[in-house]
Amino acid sequence: MNREERNEELNNSNYGVPRQAKPLRKLKRVDNNRPKEPEYRGLHEAPSIDIRIEGEEPPRPQIKEQQYHGLHEKGRDKLVESADYDDFDNEPKKKKSVKDGLIKLTSILLSIAAIIALFLNMPILWYKKSGQPDERVSIMTYFKRWQPTADIEGELEKPTMDLALDTDIVNDDFTDGLDLPQLVEGQYTVLFLGFDEDVENTDVIWICQFDIAGGQLHILQVPRDCAVPNYTSNETTKINSVYMCGDPEVNKIQRVVNCVQDNFGIPIDAYVTTACFDIVDIVDLIGGIPIHLDNEIIYEADKRIPAGDITLTGEQSEWFVRFRHEWLQGDIGRVQNQRRFMQAAMKKILDIVKNDGKMKLYSYLNTIYKNKWIATNMSVEDLSKLADFGSTLTKENVIVNMVPGEDAKYYYSSEEFYWIYSIHKRATIDMLNEYFRPYQRPMLLSESNIIEYVSEYEYQYEDYDDTGVTFEELETATEPLRDPEMRPAWKEYEE
């Protein structure tokens, strides 16, 4: 069949209707923004397979935007339900939990705390202290250095005494680990003074030396009748009068500090003073002092403390530390009895830390500061550090000594005399070298200003030359000896 015959056959094959040529369609501009219609691939087309190189991220699926047709439109609840599913993996979304909320809240609080801490540590306040240049400090540093009661007694002068440091111990690398304003590294010494009711005489004088490097506390009791004629204008020559009758060129507290440093060679870093009526408030604040009394104490006819295991109130504590009438050894008996009170008070403080925590103790200190029941040149930070150190001490590491000496008559005139306490100089120096100079060279007799009214060759007794005792031993100590003749006469009628 030739070409002409084939063409004729094709023209006649459509039921005899010749095929008409279709006209060309008019071309239109393609709109790129118009959504592309899905390409139809047939009913039985095999599913597409996702083939990608290992490690390659899968293509991100396209998210269809839901069109909102109104709040009450039928089927909207399905749209809301669909929001609980992840658009990418069709898994339910994790709903917000209480834990997530707490984490967010904690993050916010920490951020606020960081901002406050940053503000508190910005140097925005001027700090002024006598004898030192002014400096700009932060609020935190200002609070730590705050001395709320230092204005009552004033600041201490830098001592002119030779510190006589033992350079074999106190070298450039030596440190006790407690950052305090110390005269001698390794120790911190506080002079404690207790006033009488007139706030004139210092009837209680304790030198408390915290041996920080050695982990000990040494307390030296200075009898109020110690004769120090070069430091007071009072005719009695007693050390308890130095505060009021000492060197007029220096403030009152400095008078006592100078006397202690010159006679006993102990550098004083700080002081604490309180009156007998302030002891009442302090003891009541902490809930009393538990103690055992061998016998009833009659301070006055209507002021009695019963025998046995009792808890001293503030008022009873004042009677206890001031009582001296019946002791055979007079004021020395009172000094010895005060040791028992010190031991009981320290045990009470340790119990507070153990049972209620250090913050409870700090709250008591804050109340004492606020009410000015004590006066001290120590800052809040210094007192807190000492309290922390004190809470680590054990009873066997707290040792109490008394200045060695004996009672003697001091004749002010041919007819007038006073009973004083004559210090035994050599025994005192030996005791100081053993207990109170751990980081200083041994003290020589010539380096002390102690004056003896009874010479070493005329001592009547040496009973007080070795009175050292630990708090552990004081826990079971009995009261001092009593003088039967000093018992109130009316007491016998009651019995």
The full set of domain ranges for the chain reads: 97-145, 167-494
Q: Specify the pLDDT at position 451.
A: 96
CATH topology for 167-494 is Aminopeptidase (3.40.630)
In total, the chain counts a number of residues equal to: 495
Characterise 372 by phi-psi region: left (phi > 0), alpha (psi -120 to 50), beta (else).
left
Averaged pLDDT in 10-residue chunks for the chain of 495 residues = 58 52 53 55 53 54 54 50 49 62 79 67 55 55 57 88 93 89 95 93 96 96 96 96 96 96 96 94 96 93 94 96 90 93 93 89 87 90 87 92 95 90 97 96 96 94 93 92 84 64
Q: Beta strand pairing status for 297-300 and 417-423?
A: unpaired
Q: Do residues 285 and 368 touch, judged by C-beta distance below 8 A? A: yes
Only one residue has tokens 């009393």, namely 288
C-alpha torsion sign, points 246, 247, 249, 253 = negative
CB count within 10 Å of CB 453 equals 18
The type of residue at 211 is D
Give this prediction's pTM. 0.72
410 forms bridges with which residues in the sheet? 418
Q: Specify the pLDDT at position 121.
A: 61
CB count within 10 Å of CB 328 equals 13
CB count within 10 Å of CB 251 equals 16
Q: Specify the pLDDT at position 36.
A: 56
Q: Specify the pLDDT at position 79.
A: 46
Q: Specify the pLDDT at position 52.
A: 54
The type of residue at 311 is T
Q: Specify the pLDDT at position 189.
A: 97
- Token pair listed for 125: 């306040």
- Token pair listed for 86: 């992840």
The type of residue at 23 is P
Q: Which residues, other chains included, contact 227 with Cβ-Cβ below 8 Å and sequence gap of 6+?
A: 237, 238, 239, 408, 410, 420, 421, 422, 423, 451, 453
Q: Do residues 323 and 337 touch, judged by C-beta distance below 8 A? A: yes
CB count within 10 Å of CB 200 equals 14
Which one-letter DSSP state was computed for residue 299? E
- Token pair listed for 311: 């808890």
Q: Specify the pLDDT at position 358.
A: 86
Q: Which residues, other chains included, contact 350 with Cβ-Cβ below 8 Å and sequence gap of 6+?
A: 391
Which one-letter DSSP state was computed for residue 403? -
- Burial group, residue 117, by CB count within 10 angstroms (0-12, 13-18, 19+): exposed
Q: Do residues 298 and 324 touch, judged by C-beta distance below 8 A? A: no
- Token pair listed for 486: 């000093």
Buried b (16+ CB within 10 A) or exposed e, 371-410: eebbbbbbbbbbbbbbbebbeebeeebbbbbbbbbbbbeb
Which one-letter DSSP state was computed for residue 471? H
